[in-house]
């Protein structure tokens, strides 16, 4: 019997080749499986740590004895929530600052899991990957935009947080697009406590957008610019039960989180109620929406010099038409007061110098507190915030 070794070797090679491919496939599958198990384990571990940390911080910083902040029953669609009956959140920011000096506020959004201390540092990247204790954690933490002033709230106070699948951080803001949430009017409120005041905000706009829309703008050239910005937020609202449009008299709070990968879910509220914690901040603290509007109107009409002071509060700077008369009056006052009987020439010289100085101040145009590069800065901030939530979809 003749043995065909050629045929045998050919079959063996084919078998071994098939086995090799199978082994390689098995190795790849096992590697992917182990990597997935590792990532899932890390995800659960970080989520548990985040949840435990949140509960600990709530026990420390959230001192609200009465958990019912809005105890009202809305019986029909026409009935609105009585703002005067809304209670303020009670927190201890000072105690939280002892744990983390970056603590600037506490935020709570009704009908969601958002109930966290807010941190802030000099960039918008650190708390994307670090928790409240500054430990590395992909869940990150809720943080304020580095341009915002939480001691004297500006016209657009911006907060960021990851969209987490376990609804931690800002993950539960997705509830706001569900009818079970937005059909309950008592859900339409945000509570923000800072080191200087307690505030209540009414949600007026919720929408999904791309990063091309500059909803995190903080610098405005004047009242008209701010008014157009606010109207653009009103126009983008997609929730039918939100009836309270904002105006240029309102201060705004903006909550931003990822929606899928390339989009953002944005929630805006307007300040309707505030209470000062320290007497020195009484001028910025009002107890009704009308008082808040009056306060904002007076700030918009403030002097150019104070608007361009460069503070981090990003206040609106608006040329004041009445300033010419005020400066002219100041010049006349200085002229009359700087003319003693014994030195008329010197007084005349002082008066002339005073007129030139006042004239130069009046003619100087109003500038954005962040300077001519504000739009560039905001654009870069949008790019920076693109990373928010990208760790997890």
User: Does 63 fall in a domain?
Assistant: yes
CA–CA distance, 114 with 106 (Å, rounded to integer): 10
pLDDT of the residue at 29: 85
- A 10 A CB-CB count for 258 gives 25
User: Does 21 fall in a domain?
Assistant: no
User: Does 169 fall in a domain?
Assistant: yes
CA–CA distance, 229 with 248 (Å, rounded to integer): 9
User: Does 366 fall in a domain?
Assistant: no
User: Does 392 fall in a domain?
Assistant: no
User: Does 359 fall in a domain?
Assistant: no
Measured CA to CA in angstroms, residue 292 lies from 63, 224, 374 at distances of: 26, 19, 27
- Parts of the chain with a pLDDT under 70: 1-6, 8-9, 11-19, 21, 38-39, 41-52, 60-67, 279-393
CA–CA distance, 86 with 74 (Å, rounded to integer): 14
Q: How many domains does the chain have?
A: 1
210 Cβ neighbours under 8 A, 6+ residues apart: 262, 263, 264
pLDDT of the residue at 46: 63
Domain housing 106: 47-300+375-385
User: Does 68 fall in a domain?
Assistant: yes
User: Does 309 fall in a domain?
Assistant: no
Residue 262 maps to which CATH number?
A: 2.40.260.10
């Amino acid at each position: 019997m003749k043995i065909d070794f050629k045929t045998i070797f050919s079959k063996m090679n084919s078998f071994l080749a098939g086995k090799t491919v199978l082994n390689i496939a098995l190795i790849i599958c096992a590697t992917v499986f182990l990597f997935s198990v590792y990532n899932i384990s890390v995800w659960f571990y970080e989520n548990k740590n985040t949840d435990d940390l949140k509960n600990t911080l709530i026990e420390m910083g959230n001192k609200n004895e009465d958990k019912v902040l809005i105890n009202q029953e809305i019986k029909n669609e026409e009935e609105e929530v009585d703002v005067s009956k809304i209670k303020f959140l009670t927190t201890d920011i000072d105690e939280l600052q002892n744990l983390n000096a970056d603590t600037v506020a506490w935020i709570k959004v009704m009908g969601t899991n958002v109930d966290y201390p807010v941190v802030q540092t000099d960039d918008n990247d650190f708390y994307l990957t670090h928790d409240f204790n500054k430990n590395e954690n992909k869940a990150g933490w809720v943080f304020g935009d580095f341009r915002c002033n939480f001691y004297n709230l500006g016209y657009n106070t911006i907060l960021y947080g990851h969209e987490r699948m376990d609804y931690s951080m800002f993950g539960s803001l997705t509830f706001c697009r569900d009818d079970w949430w937005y059909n309950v009017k008592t859900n339409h409120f945000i509570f923000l406590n800072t080191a200087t005041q307690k505030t209540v905000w009414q949600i007026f706009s919720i929408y999904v957008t791309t990063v091309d829309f500059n909803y995190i703008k903080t610098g405005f050239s004047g009242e008209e610019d701010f008014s157009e910005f606010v109207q653009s937020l009103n126009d983008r609202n997609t929730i039918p039960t939100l009836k309270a449009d904002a105006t240029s008299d309102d201060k705004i709070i903006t909550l931003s989180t990822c929606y899928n990968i390339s989009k953002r879910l944005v929630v805006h509220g307007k300040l309707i109620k505030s209470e000062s914690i320290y007497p020195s901040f009484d001028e910025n603290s009002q107890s009704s929406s009308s008082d808040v509007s009056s306060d904002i109107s007076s700030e918009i009409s403030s002097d150019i010099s104070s608007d361009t002071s460069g503070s981090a509060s990003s206040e609106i700077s608006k040329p004041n038409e009445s300033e010419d008369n005020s400066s002219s009056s100041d010049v006349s006052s200085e002229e009359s007061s700087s003319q003693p009987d014994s030195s008329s020439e010197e007084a005349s010289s002082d008066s002339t110098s005073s007129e030139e100085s006042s004239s130069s101040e009046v003619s100087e145009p109003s500038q954005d507190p962040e300077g001519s590069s504000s739009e560039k800065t905001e654009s870069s901030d949008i790019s920076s915030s693109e990373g928010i939530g990208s760790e997890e979809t």
